[in-house]
Structure 1
Amino acid sequence: MKKVLITGATGLIGSKLAKACLHAGIEVNYLTTSKEKIEKTEKYKGFYWNPKEGKIDSEAFEGVTAIINLVGATIAKRWTSSYKKVIIESRVESMKLIYNTLENIEHDVSHFISASGVNIYPNSETKLYTEESEEVDDNFLAKVVVAWEKAATKFKNLGMEVTKVRTGMVLAKNDGALPKLVQPIKLGLGAPLGDGNQWQSWIHIDDIVGIYMFILQNQIEGIFNAVAPNPIQNKKLTKLIANHYGSPLWLPNVPAFALKLILGEMYVLVVEGQLVSSKKIEELGYRFKFYNIEPALQDLL
């Protein structure tokens, strides 16, 4: 592995993954929609693209043997009908542009690794989902994941190995879900969401980066759940964060109907959850740095 192309390289996961690649001696090319974010060093090179306009700098693929596709508009923004379109198109159209470009140029890409989400699985408090589970939820997020994965599968037609990384709730210090969970608790306004029994299949930022590196360096294909081995229920997670800050949890649970009024359709992100297994990636030899939530929170808070 000498050179990888990363889309979404300036985001939460992508920025840390790019650093991990460079640390491992893997050169990084990255695609960005912002000309201001284009850097050109010996080992780290940025290239402009604009999926909406179908523009891409094909020099980005020179010498690249694997692509890690992390691009996608945030789902943590109110899902109006127009923004729903943005969520899907930012994932599907960008992959279509990469596919069409690769179809028409000479390249050495043999492995396509794409982000995906555990939101494909239906909400359940009792069912443990594995990569072999065939149930698919019928909500908007599941439809996004289905379209996302379908677009990734297409790369097999170009003779590539394809890997889909179904990611859980990524916990990081200054970005993603954790600061949003911490903020009201620190203010003494924390409370479990809905009935609090919903599972949150989480993963520490170091482990999601670790899983991508493991898949990349071992050229593993297939579908993998990228979640820590021990998911946690919302009420316990809320309590652990409150204990860390010495904040009392005196408010009643925030009812689901109130969350629906505040967040709209997006409320499923906080009141629904899935119990997801990480066994498949572990059996291949990936060793988690953070198996349990307590040391993960200690590290991040």
Structure 2
Amino acid sequence: MKILITGATGLIGKELVSLLLQNGISIHYLTTSKRKIEGEPHYQGFFWDPQKGIIDENCLLGVHAIVHLAGANIAKRWTNSYKQEIIESRILTSDLLYKALKNYPNEVKQIISASAIGIYPSSYDKLYSEDSIEVSSTFLGTVTEKWEDSVEKFKRLNISVCKLRIGLVLANEGGALPQMVKPIKSGMGAAFGTGKQMQSWIHIHDLVNMFLFAFQHNWNGVYNAVAPHPVTNSELVETIAKTLDKDIILPNVPKFLMKIILGEMHILLFESQNVSAQKVLDNGFQFKFKILDKALDGLLA
């Protein structure tokens, strides 16, 4: 079996590459840097430039599925130009993959695309399942909706489309967790706003295993990639502190202050999305880390 990966050098991509190779699955990956092209027996890189519409069609040789992770990091200040980059990095890459699959012979039967729970509107009382049709009016909601729409068209090529709406990824190598750990370690940690906003999270180990499971079981449609037991922001901060044997002594950080510091991007800290994992459980996926304290023990101990 062979899988083509976009975004293979990112936080999720690196972990997924390692897992797939351990399971005997060969990998082709696309990179915009010719210096990052490697040519090992089961790990082969190919060049593409989505901005210019360039792709090495040899990337499709022998490939049965595509995992689409490419996209600019949302955790950088949202200037108007960078907001455009966030959108284009998702849409242009999808469009170029579609064009390649349409124009070149291939054996691809499935695409599994990253998405985000940011598509759901912020709410303190709603529980969101994949059946929810509400879309957040924020920039995050707009990005995610366009992102998902951009992979829908692969169905026209008789390719199965699976979208994993990813929650807050807990990992040591990147993402939000190291940024949360720093102030807590130094005694400056605090919850944000009311602290009551729901944080639907997932351990990186479970997330990459879910991508593999989705491939092995030919998942089709939308799935929430979140652990079964979400927590509030206060609970998240307090559990990190407890794991590190630190105390939270500062009052909650007010929303207006983070808006001054981060601009529009501050919503990343204050949005509340209580997202259900029931569908992935019903479809046979088993989590290693269902409870936050166990997940953090493994990461921070």
Tell me the TM-score normalised to structure 2 length. 0.98
Pairs within 5 Å for 1:24-63: 24-63=23-62
Q: Distance in 2 between matches of 1:32 and 1:42?
A: 18
Please show how residues 1-301 of structure 1 align to structure 2 within 5 Å: 2-301=1-300
Q: Following TM superposition, by how much is the alpha carbon of 1:244 offset from its aligned partner in structure 2, in angstroms? A: 2.2
Partners of 1:80 and 1:43 in 2: CA distance: 40
Q: Distance in 2 between matches of 1:241 and 1:22?
A: 32
Contact 2:67 2:112 in 1 (8 A): yes
Structure 2 letter corresponding to 1:16: E
CA shift at 1:248, angstroms?
2.3
Per-residue CA distance 1:131-184 (angstroms, 9 max, x = gap): 001111100000000000000101001111100010000000121110011110
Q: Deviations over 1:65-124 (max 9, x none)?
A: 100000000000000110000000000001101111111111111101100000000101
Find the residue that maps to 1:212 and give its secondary structure. helix
Structure 1 counterpart of 2:270, which letter?
V
**Deviation, structure 1 residue 296:** 0.2
Q: Provide the rounded CA distance (Å) in 2 between the counterparts of 1:55 and 1:144.
A: 23
| Residue 59 (structure 1) shift | 0.3
Give distance in 1, aligned partners of 2:137 and 2:262. 19
Deviation at 1:294, TM superposition (A): 0.4
Task: Render the CA deviation track for 1:19-49: whole Å, top value 9, x for unaligned.
Answer: 1111111110000111111110111100011
Secondary structure (helix, strand or coil) at the match of 1:114 reads strand
Structure 1's consecutive aligned runs of 4 or more residues displaced over 2 angstroms after TM superposition are 244-248
How many angstroms does 1:198 deviate by? 0.4
Letter aligned with residue 84 of structure 1: K
One-letter code aligned to 2:88: E
Q: CA deviation at 1:227?
A: 0.2
Q: For residues 269 and 257 of structure 1, what CA distance do their matches in structure 2 show?
A: 14
The residue identity in structure 2 corresponding to 1:102 is: L
CA RMSD of aligned residues (A): 0.7
Kindly provide the amino acid, as one letter, of the partner of residue 123 in structure 2: S
Unaligned residue ranges in structure 1 (runs of 5+): none
How far did 1:243 drift?
A: 1.8
**Displacement of 1:250:** 1.5
Unaligned runs of 5+ in 2: none
